[in-house]
Amino acid sequence: MISIQGKGVSTGVALGPLYFYKRAKAEITHETVEDTAAEWERFKEAQAKAVEQLGELAEKARAEAGDEAALLFETHQLMAEDLDYEEAIQALIQDEKLNAVAAVSDTAAQFAEMFASMDDAYMQARAADVKDVSTRIIGILTGAVQGGIDSEVPVILAADDLAPSETVQLDKSKILGFVTEGGSGSSHTAILARTMGIPAIIGVGKQVKEEYAGREVAIDGTKGEIIVDADENTRKLILKKIADQKKTRELLEKLKGLPNKTKDGQSIRVYCNIGSPDDVPAVLGNDAGGVGLFRSEFLYLNCDDYPSEEYQFEAYKKVLSDMGDKEVVIRTLDIGADKQIDYFDLPKEENPAMGNRALRICLQRPEIFRTQLRALYRASAFGHLCIMFPMVTSVWEVREAKKMCERVKKELTKEGKAFSDSVQIGIMIETPAAAVMSDRLAKEVDFFSCGTNDLTQYTLACDRQNADLGRFFNAHHPAVLRLLKMVCDNAHKNGIWVGICGELGADLELTETFLSIGIDELSVSPRAVLPLRQKIRETNVAVCKDSILGTLLGDKTQD
Amino acid sequence: MKSFEYTVQDPIGIHARPAGLLVKEVKKYASTITLSKGEKSVNALKLMAIMGLGIKQGETVKITVEGDDEEKAAAEIEAFFKANL
């Protein structure tokens, strides 16, 4: 088994034989021509033919990948007809008596050089476009045929770098994924691969050797990993990933863009839980409506010292701007208990789950809290931010945290720094105290999000990390469900929304229950979004509500 | 001769796509249309020359229109810049 690391630029997993792209390479010879007028005519004909082909490719790309992809080829058409380009070729043919093929090749090199020497990565990448257009004209002049895939079965395609027109002309049914030696994340190959939903890994250099041709290769576009001749266990894992991916695709095909609405018309928002800005593509790829829980801890866990305001700001800004106008709930620092960080230098506790953690730390060490809040408010200018405080038990804690927010906003106003004035503030309901006091807490905030993992462990007095508790730890315990109903009723009485961001949210056995008690939002891992949407769309609340609430609240409740 | 100045708003500047759209727009008029950045001037019919100027967001360009339909061309090209760049 050989493992190779590249840079993943299009997600997905694929397994298949490795195939090296064969390019029909036109031999460029420099010759002197006598009849320069005829040679110029030959060029003009080839140019016209190239423009025509590019027009056809534009239509093909439009059908396969939309207007943006088509525009690329329309730009190529303009390049083929560019006056400077044409004049340079004309000068070489008429004045230097050079043959058309050599004239095009030399001119292409000259223009590509111009782009490559610009100080802008985007423009540098355009050198490939000029070469691509010129290769097409040369191909027409010499009668060379574009390289295809000579294989019966679909392959993982390896190449030095693929030109955009090459990717579009390829028979898609024969390609499972791309591996390229060079390239960049903003190359057209990467963009097209993403639009077409095929994994692509770039920048592998010479690590993928010709001798691997025909051998079985697995590529993981999320990790940028290429595995040649995977061992049995790895292969099993890959096949499982492919099966999952297929299932998601099928669901996506069926459910993408459809509302999370029950048969009888009740809507619920389905959002995602994420741990870093890198998770956003998965959120959007699974068609979630927003981010219901962004755990900010990763910023602290990834550092050796307290992360700066600027560092945090960039991460929050990235998530908010990538999510566009969709809601993003960012939870403030939640460390302590099972998440410990050395530089916080927290004293060892007998019972950390009930110790100094989350908001409790923030209120005791306001300088840490202030840095995070400043970063959050500054990022709020770039999207739709909701701030959420974890581990609340009392109203005064929320008031104190809100006071901090006000202070930070005042500071930013004074410094002339932009922030949104429509940031929502919410709290996690994860302690029985918060659930019981939810009527009062609802008057302080804009939303609740129930963290069912902690709520269950605190309510049942069962340590969730203790595997020996067996049947005593019942995730569906009616005590927890009754608390959720109470929280929900109190939220709605006060006109605020309520969500669930714990693992229970994705538990399809409880979807009907959550809809019956009126939960407004479920935040789950990206891969759980579509199965959940399917379940919601199959549910009829009017039919199941009475019996569910009866069982939950009445004496029929499970003992 | 008509001319106007414009400061580019598009975050990635005049890259391939808008440059292509600009050339298509300019082709509609009989006037000679010149695009200048600083001391460099190019014929606005030339896609690669425009791209070669490497015009970025926040940079100001000058557009000069000269010919029979300059009145109309200048007005419409200015509108094009505002809408696309």
Q: What are A195-225's pLDDT values in tens digits? A: 667 899 988 888 888 889 889 999 999 889 9
Q: How far apart are CA A492 and CA A435, in angstroms?
A: 14
> Quick check: is A188 catalytic?
yes
- Strands, DSSP E only, in B1-85? 2-7, 32-37, 40-43, 60-66
CB contact under 8 A, B16 and A75: yes
Q: Is residue A270 a contact partner of residue A505, using CB atoms and an 8 Å limit?
A: no
- Tokens representing A182 are 């060079």
pLDDT digits (tens, 9 = 90+) for B17-68: 788 888 888 888 888 999 999 888 899 888 888 888 888 888 899 999 998 8
| Helices and strands of chain B, counted as H and E runs | 3, 4
**Domains detected in chain A:** 2-23+147-236 (3.50.30.10), 36-142 (1.10.274.10), 263-553 (3.20.20.60)
Query: Which tokens sit at B76?
Result: 């419409």
Q: Is the pLDDT score of A161 beyond 80?
A: no
List, in sequence order, every residue forming a beta bridge with A159; answer none if it has no partner: A180
- The answer to whether B44 and B22 have CB atoms below 8 angstroms apart is yes
> In the predicted model, is pLDDT for residue A426 greater than 90?
yes
As a whole number of angstroms, the distance between CA A465 and CA A454 comes to: 11
In the sheet that B2-7 helps form, which strands lie side by side, from edge to edge?
Answer: B2-7, B60-66, B32-37, B40-43
Phi/psi of residue A52, nearest 5 degrees: -65, -45
Highest mean pLDDT among A17-31, A56-70, A273-287, A407-421: A407-421
Predicted confidence at residue A195, as pLDDT, reads: 66
| pLDDT above 70: residue A24 | no
- Tell me the CA distances in angstroms from A360 to A210, A295, A407, A464, one per residue in order: 59, 17, 18, 21
* Alpha-carbon gap, residue A479 to A474, rounded angstroms: 10
CB contacts of B48 in chain A (<8 Å) are 79, 82, 84-85, 111, 114, 130
pLDDT, tens digit, 9 for 90 and up, residues A83-129: 889 999 999 999 989 999 999 999 999 999 888 888 777 788 888 88
**Chain A residues within an 8 Å CB radius of B15:** 122-123
Q: Which pLDDT does position A68 carry in this prediction?
A: 74
Domain around B72: 2-84
CA distance A283 to A190: 20
- B59 at A interface, C-beta within 8 A: no
What pLDDT score was predicted for residue A460?
94
A198: left (phi over 0), alpha (psi -120 to 50) or beta: beta
Q: With an 8 Å Cβ cutoff, are A75 and B43 in contact?
A: no
Are A453 and A474 a contacting pair, CB within 8 Å? Answer: no
Q: What DSSP string runs through A236-261?
A: HHHHHHHHHHHHHHHHHHHHTT---B
pTM here? 0.60
Other CB atoms within a 10 A radius of the CB of residue A307 amount to 21
Contact, A359 vs A389, CB < 8 A? yes
Q: What are the DSSP E strand ranges found in A124-210?
A: 155-159, 175-180, 200-202
Res A185: pLDDT: 67
Residues of A in contact with B47 (CB under 8 A): 75, 78-79, 82
Catalytic residue status for A405: no
Tokens of A431: 């302690």
* Residue of chain A with shortest Cα separation from B24: A78
The secondary element (H helix, E strand) that includes residue A540 is: none
Question: How far is the first Cα of chain B from the last one, in angstroms, to the nearest whole number?
Answer: 23
Query: In what helix (H) or strand (E) does residue A350 lie, and over which residues does it extend?
Result: none
Q: Give the whole-angstrom CA distance, residue A391 versus residue A436.
A: 14
Helix (H, G, I), strand (E, B) or coil at A388: strand
CA dist A260 and A541 (Å) reads: 13
User: Considering only CB atoms, which chain A residues are within 8 Å of B52?
Assistant: 114-115, 118
Q: The domain spanning residue B26 has which CATH number?
A: 3.30.1340.10
Phi/psi at A182 (5° precision): -110, -140
> In this predicted model, what pLDDT tens digit does every residue of A508-521 receive, in sequence order?
999 999 999 999 99
Structure tokens at A190: 């990467």
CA–CA gap between residue B32 and residue B30 (Å, rounded): 7
Min CA distance, A240 vs chain B (Å)? 41
Read off the pLDDT of residues A257-299 as tens digits, 9 standing for 90 and up.
899 999 999 999 999 999 888 889 889 988 999 999 999 988 8
Question: Exposed, middle or buried: residue A44 (CB in 10 Å: 0-12, 13-18, 19+)?
Answer: middle
What pLDDT is stored for residue A370 in this prediction?
Answer: 97
Could you report the per-residue pLDDT of A335-375, keeping only the tens digit for each?
876 777 888 888 888 888 888 899 999 999 999 999 999 99
Pick from A490, A501, A483, A540: which is nearest to A270 by CA? A501
Q: pLDDT band at A555, cuts 50/70/90?
A: low
Q: Which of B13, B43, B47 sits opposite A78 (nearest CB)?
A: B47
Separation of alpha carbons A413 and A314, rounded Å: 19
**Most confident listed range (A19-23, A51-55, A447-451):** A447-451
Reported ipTM: the value is 0.81
Number of domains in chain B: 1
